[in-house]
Structure 1
Amino acid sequence: MFHERLKKLRENENITREHLADSLGITYSALSKYETGKREPGLELLQKIANYFDVTTDYLLGSTDNPKPADYKLAGISDEDYNNLSSYQKEVIDFFLTREDLFFKNQPENLLDALEQFEIFYEVLKRQQENKK
């Protein structure tokens, strides 16, 4: 999985193997082996690759299909708290976390405490959008 994702990321960015190898401080040959699955990177290089492409190591390793950390994690909400929410509540939380005009980063208590009010506001916004169509 890692080798496929590494190659895909590099190709999607139109980066040559030479350029990526230089940027990561490794040889062309080593990068070639990573991309063909003949070799696996150590933890330090894995993190360096993730940082270079602005993706998570979980994505590189195939643990998730989402290359970016979940918005709820960036807001400081634990996996346990998020997983205890209903799918509708997750939809509401995700909606508000993706709004650039609202600020909830590292304020999970505020976000979770206000969830009931957000659900009401979310329904109003959805109806307004439907009426515009």
Structure 2
Amino acid sequence: MVGDNLRNIMMENKIPAKELAGKLGISPTHLSYVINNKRNPSLELMENIANILGVTMSELLKDNDGEGLKEKLPQSSLLPKEERDIARDLEKMLSNLENQEAMSFYDGEPLDEESKELLRISLENSMRLAKQMAKKKFTPNKYKK
């Protein structure tokens, strides 16, 4: 969890929570909720934490066993054709997002590689979930296992 990783990184760097909260411009209580896994931090807050602590977003997102988000995605019950469709649609979406007009909400600055990877993982996860939910909802009962 993010909070556990954050706590470990803070201990390694000997940075007190109050000092980090001050540098981040948030209350110590808010940071405490994040450290204790009671609140999920926003992407902007996680980027600020990573920058201040000198770590990557991947380090903050790693699970206790050292695996990142991508390795923890659940195995899907999708057919090979559905997997290919998701991969094709995902590549199409990502190539369209690299267009400057598509990313205008991001102040015209290009995304760094880490943000692109997080966006790709999020989109892929969402597409898989949507496909699985549609499959569950629209498959007739006689074909369900």
TM-score, normalised on structure 2?
Answer: 0.42
What TM-score, normalized to structure 1?
A: 0.46
Rg larger in structure: 1
